[in-house]
Structures are given as structure tokens and as C-alpha cells.
Amino acid sequence: MAMAQALPDDGIMRAADGTPLKVALARAQRREKLRAMGLILPLFLFIVLSFVTPILVMLYNAVYDPDVADNLPQTISALKAWDGTDLPPEEVFAAFVVDMKAAQQNRQVALVGKRLNYEISGIRSKVIATGRKVGAIEAPPYKDAVIAIDKVWGENETWATIKRSSSEYTPFYLLAMLDMRQSVDGAVERQPAERRIYWDVLKRTLGISFLVTAMTLIFGYPVAYLLATSPQKTASILMIFVLLPFWTSLLVRTTAWMILMQDNGVFSQFLSITGITWLLNLFGYIDGTPRLFHTRFATVVAMMHIQLPFTLLPIYSVMKTISPNYMRAAKSLGGTPFYSFVRVYMPQTLPGVAAGCLLTFIISLGYYITPALVGGPTDQMISGFIFSAINNENNWGKASALGVILLVATIILYYAYNKLVGIDRMKLG
């Protein structure tokens, strides 16, 4: 206190220790800010390390592919001067023989074969056979000796493919997942028709997600409306029907649908008892009992069942905030009930509809378990292809490239969600 009294009386407000109040406040706020940052930092670092970095690694895998470049280094540098019109000159074949001998010793030939096989089907076994036989080539002319092992080495396309793979970084996987490829001269072109499959996968994924989202909206909106306008007691009882499935494991719900949709299972019993089977037969949609398991229908029904609460709950929480006075006002001004509902009530629910539908659409894009278990084996979504690229083909480049496409689609929608709804306003349950 004595110090404060000794301060000059210059009209500046001061804190107890004599610093001007403005400075003290700024300092306190800075300290507060630093403390808050210190609270956020542990989680931020944790997420960056355990989640963001792995995803960056995956992105890198989509373009990083050193198998050919690392194992055929001399061939690649010899190929630099080759213009692709005729077969490569003798020195390329000489370098190739040296590289292949080394690769055979390091047991890397199979890797080279696997990589080239992505572009020239059937070449894998030929590369491996060449690796085995190349040790016998002692002296020139290398060109004829190599072509004598397998005539695939006498084709321009083989060498063009090797030349294209000369960099450790390749757009091959990303292009392939968009049904495109680099032609012999390096220009980007569409895949031949029989190799265009991934565009269909993407379209199918988007189509199923869209269908699921639309169905959840059609079925969820009336439920949300009734829940929001019912008396509290009724609403909380009805809410159990929505929340119990929401809290039940996704795997359990998928399993439930799997069991119910077995041939002659509970679901087809239900269809037959209610006469739906009879009706479907009558109108010629099916012959006999309907097959549900491993169909698109099963995927959509099960996904819709799982996603319904995700669409419904945001709509419900927006509807809860709409005052009934608006509808009363609309009706007292002479609007018919239908007109008032469509023109006055529905526009106010749009934020909830956007939030719920976007969330469901984003989640649907990444579905793997449900389509894998109840859907048809040829009717998988993009995540299923990612999984089988790793599990069945051990093709990380392909899996990563598909992952990039799925990730880009997700991020665009996530950005839209953040702009339209705001992630800080996301609520659960």
C-alpha cells in the first residue's frame, strides 16, 4: 500500500503493484490465453501424432512407389535417352541384365513383377522367370538373349512402363483409381473400357449414401416432428425407440440384420405372413420367396436403420426450438394447415435437416462393415475395395489412392458441414 501511495498522480489507473491497469490487464489476458493453449495442446499434439501423421503417411503411400526405381536403377538411367519409337538399344538390355541379376540376388524380383503387373497383366510370372534365367546370360548380345527368355521384353509397352515407373513418385495409382492412365508417351488418357471399374465404385458409393440419406430423411422427419410436438412424457417414452438403437453397437445391429435376412429367416417369414411376398409375386417382381441376403436392398435397409438416429436427432433438436406460435399465427392469417406447415414450419427446420443429412451422408460414405456383411460381394462400397486391396492383393498403393479419393470427398463435405452448421454446435444424443 505504501508503494501505491508513492506513485505520481498522473490520472492513469494503476494496479496494486503500480503498473498501469491497461498493461496489467493485457498481461493477465495473455497469461490466461497461454494457460488455455496449454490445456488444448496435449490433445492437439496427441491427435497430430496418432491420427494426422498416419493419414499423411497414407497420402504419401498413394504416390510413393520405389519398387521399380530402386531395383532397376541402371536400366532406368539407360532408358532416359530412349524415345519409345523402336525397341531400346543394346545398352539398355545390358543394364537390365545387370539389374536383374542384382535383384535376383536380393530377392526383389517378385516386387518388380508385382508392380509391373498392375499395368501389364500377366507379366508377373514372366518377370520372375526372367529373374531365374538371367544368371545364364554371360556375354553380349544381351538384347537377343533377354528377348529369347520371354518375348514380352521385345515389346515397346514393357519398356515404356518401366520408363514411366522410373521415379519413386508416381501418379499411377491415383490416375488408375479415376479410371485413367498415362499412355506410352506420358499423356493422361482414359483407361480402355474393360478396365474402367473404379468410377463405378465411386458412383455406387455416392449413390448408396445418397439413397440412405434420403430414406433416413423421409422416415426420420415425421418422427422428429411428432417427438418435438408431443407432451414431454410421451416424447421421452418414444425417444427410447430412437436412442436404444443409437446406443447399440453397429456390429450388433448389422449382425441382427444378417440373421434376420437369412434365406427363410425372420424377415422373409415376416414378408410372407404380412402378404408382401404374395403381392410381390402377384405383380411379378419376384418368383417365389424374395432373396434379401447379399443384396443392395439389404445394405440400404441395414444402413438406413443404423443412420436413422443420426439424421433424426439434429432435426429433432431444431424442431424443439420452434415456437408453436408461428403455426398458430399462420393459421389465424388464413393459411390451410398444409400450406402453413410447408411455408412456415418447414423452412425453420432446414438447419436441422442440413445438419442431419450431411452427417449421415458423410458417415455413409465410409461404411465398410455393413455392406461387407449384408451386401453383395460385387456390390461393395469404396471402403470395401480399400480393405480388399490390402487384404487380398497386398496393394498399398491402390488402397492409399482409393483412400485419398474417399478422404477428399469426406473433407469437402466436412468443410460444408462446418460452414453450414458449425462443428462446435454438433451435439450427441
Partner 1 sequence: MAVPSYYTRGETVAYYALRAFVGLVLLFLISPIIAVMPLSFNSETFFSYPMPGYSLRWYDDFFFNPRWSGALKVSFIVALATTALATILGTLAALGLARVNFKGKSTVMAVLISPMIVPVIISAIGMFRFYAILDLAGTRLGIILAHTALATPFVVITVTATLSSFDKTLIRAGASCGAAPHTVFFKVVMPLILPGMISGALFAFVTSFDEVIVVLFLASPEDRTLPLQMFSGIREMISPTITAAATVLVLISTLLLVTVELLRRRSERLRGVRN
- Site residues for partner 1, 372-411, by CB under 8 A, read 372-373, 383, 386-387, 390, 396, 399-400, 403, 406-407, 410
Q: Which residues pair with 14 in a beta bridge?
A: 20
Of residues 257-276, those binding partner 1 (CB under 8 A): 257-260, 262, 264-266, 269
Please answer whether residues 298 and 375 qualify as being in contact, where contact means their C-beta atoms are separated by less than 8 angstroms: yes
* Smallest distance from partner 1 to CB 17, Å: 18
Per CB under 8 A, 247 contacts partner 1: yes
Segment contacting partner 1 (CB under 8 A): 106-114, 118-126, 148-156, 225-233? 225-233
* Smallest distance from partner 1 to CB 175, Å: 20
Per CB under 8 A, 332 contacts partner 1: no
Distance CA 383, CA 399 (A): 9
Strand, helix or coil at 397?
helix
Strand, helix or coil at 190?
strand
Contacts of 212 (CB under 8 A, 6+ apart): 300, 303, 304, 307, 360, 364
Q: For residue 130, give the C-alpha cell.
A: 526372367
Residues 168-207 as x/- pattern, contact with partner 1 by CB under 8 A: ----------------------------------------
Number of residues that bind partner 1 (CB under 8 A): 91
Per CB under 8 A, 214 contacts partner 1: no
Q: Which of 8, 11, 42, 324 binds partner 1 (CB under 8 A)?
A: 42
* Smallest distance from partner 1 to CB 103, Å: 24
Per CB under 8 A, 154 contacts partner 1: no
Of residues 60-79, those binding partner 1 (CB under 8 A): 61
Q: Which of 337, 393, 412, 420 binds partner 1 (CB under 8 A)?
A: 337
* Smallest distance from partner 1 to CB 389, Å: 9
Residues 283-322 as x/- pattern, contact with partner 1 by CB under 8 A: ----------------------x--xx-------------
Closest C-alpha to 301, from 225, 375, 353: 375
Name the phi and psi angles at 414, rounded to 5.
Answer: -65, -40
Per CB under 8 A, 147 contacts partner 1: no
Q: Which of 97, 145, 223, 353 binds partner 1 (CB under 8 A)?
A: 223
Q: Which amino acid, 156?
A: N
Of residues 22-41, those binding partner 1 (CB under 8 A): 32-33, 35-41
**DSSP 8-state secondary structure symbol assigned to residue 291:** P
Q: Which of 12, 21, 57, 188 binds partner 1 (CB under 8 A)?
A: 57
* Smallest distance from partner 1 to CB 421, Å: 12
Closest C-alpha to 89, from 141, 135, 48: 141
Per CB under 8 A, 252 contacts partner 1: yes
* Smallest distance from partner 1 to CB 199, Å: 19
Closest C-alpha to 405, from 377, 419, 385: 385
Distance CA 406, CA 429 (A): 27
Q: Which of 46, 169, 278, 326 binds partner 1 (CB under 8 A)?
A: 46
Q: State how beta strands 188-190 and 180-182 pair.
A: antiparallel
Query: How many other β-carbons are positioned within 10 Å of the β-carbon of residue 89?
Result: 13
- Output 249 or 323, the one with its CB closest to partner 1: 249
- Output 123 or 302, the one with its CB closest to partner 1: 302
Q: Is 188 left (phi over 0), alpha (psi -120 to 50) or beta?
A: beta
* Smallest distance from partner 1 to CB 187, Å: 30
**Positions of E strands within 311-415:** none
Q: Which of 9, 16, 50, 323 binds partner 1 (CB under 8 A)?
A: 50
Please answer whether residues 29 and 39 qualify as being in contact, where contact means their C-beta atoms are separated by less than 8 angstroms: no
* Smallest distance from partner 1 to CB 46, Å: 6
Distance CA 151, CA 398 (A): 28
Distance CA 311, CA 246 (A): 11
Helix (H) or strand (E) run with residue 180 in it: strand 180-182
